Amino acid sequence: MERKNLVLVSIALVCSMQLFAWGKTGHRVVGYVAQQHISKKAHKNIDKLLNGYSLEMSGNYMDFIKADTNYKHMGAWHYVSIPDGKTYEDITKNPKGDVIWAIETLIEELKTKKFKIVPSEEFAVMALVHFVGDLHQPLHVGLPEDKGGNSIKVEFFGDKTNLHRVWDSDLIEHQGLSYTEWGGHINRGVDRLQVLEWQSTTVRDWAAESQQLRTQCYDFGNSTNLKYEYIYRHMGTVEKRLEQAGVRLAGILNELYG
Ligand SMILES: [Zn+2]
């Protein structure tokens, strides 16, 4: 990647006030976990391709470019809407694309090295890091009627937010950990068998898992001011999804570059 673009990404990082997807920390955690599970060869090849730009920092690229009108058409690639009781195969696909389509297409383009939906191989890898993370956030496989929880107004320790944002970032930021501390914490004790099991699943399986998990996100009892009890009940899911995303991302990258 050109230096010029890296500078732009860094500026966007400072300026970006909006929160998208897992939020900046969550996406960096996914990149950090993936980094722990990629082979030496994959690491070397990706390092060369991204000119040393880390997977951790790559994770937020797709959110930063939302400020650039040239990439506006990629907005729908961050999520998929599936009603309860339906599967991805059942629904009429969004003509603008969705996160499942985006990941499957990016993997295909990275295999064939023919880039059609993105401008380059570097772009494809950075997009993949981001979208694999997004797909593991349960509310990114959302209900169409509430836009994946975006229109469910709640409070988090008294601060106005919405259910989608609680899952993207409020639950993660509340811990007050850096992405390396987060990554180290969730990556502890994940054994080889678990890694292989998680990596043996498909993109559609990850989506089905999120769809199944999303129901519990709405389980906030009588009060919409979410506090310690909500964190206590759901933090395990947040941790597991971030870890699975990182491990599975590494699985794809090992296949492509290992
Ligand atoms: Zn996103």
SS (HEC) of 138-181: HHHEECHHHCCCCCCEEEECCEEEEHHHHHHHHHHHCCCCCHHH
For ligand 1, the distance from its centroid to the CA atom of residue 127, given in whole angstroms, is 9
Residue with tokens 């956030």: 137
Residue with tokens 């060369």: 48
For ligand 1, the distance from its centroid to the CA atom of residue 76, given in whole angstroms, is 9
Say how many CA atoms lie within 13 Å of 14 toward its Cβ.
Answer: 5
For ligand 1, the distance from its centroid to the CA atom of residue 20, given in whole angstroms, is 6
Phi and psi at residue 52, to the nearest 5°: 85, -5
CA-to-CA distance for 35 and 56, rounded, in angstroms? 8
Residue 22: predicted pLDDT: 82
For ligand 1, the distance from its centroid to the CA atom of residue 19, given in whole angstroms, is 9
Nearest in space to 63 (alpha carbons), one of 151, 140, 148, 126: 126
Total domains in the fold of the chain? 1
> For position 53, which CATH number holds?
1.10.575.10
Residue 220: predicted pLDDT: 86
For ligand 1, the distance from its centroid to the CA atom of residue 100, given in whole angstroms, is 12
pTM for this predicted structure: 0.91
Instruction: Copy the structure tokens of residue 185.
Output: 């914490």
Q: What is the mean pLDDT of each run of 10 residues along the chain (258 residues)?
A: 49 42 90 97 97 94 89 96 97 97 98 97 97 98 97 97 97 96 93 97 98 96 92 96 98 98
Q: Which residues form the domain of 76?
A: 3-257
For ligand 1, the distance from its centroid to the CA atom of residue 96, given in whole angstroms, is 15
CA-to-CA distance for 208 and 150, rounded, in angstroms? 20
For ligand 1, the distance from its centroid to the CA atom of residue 125, given in whole angstroms, is 14
Q: Is 248 left (phi over 0), alpha (psi -120 to 50) or beta?
A: alpha
For ligand 1, the distance from its centroid to the CA atom of residue 142, given in whole angstroms, is 13
For ligand 1, the distance from its centroid to the CA atom of residue 21, given in whole angstroms, is 4
Residue 171: predicted pLDDT: 97
For ligand 1, the distance from its centroid to the CA atom of residue 63, given in whole angstroms, is 6
Residue 17: predicted pLDDT: 37
Residue 66: predicted pLDDT: 87
Residue 18: predicted pLDDT: 40
Phi and psi at residue 154, to the nearest 5°: -140, 175
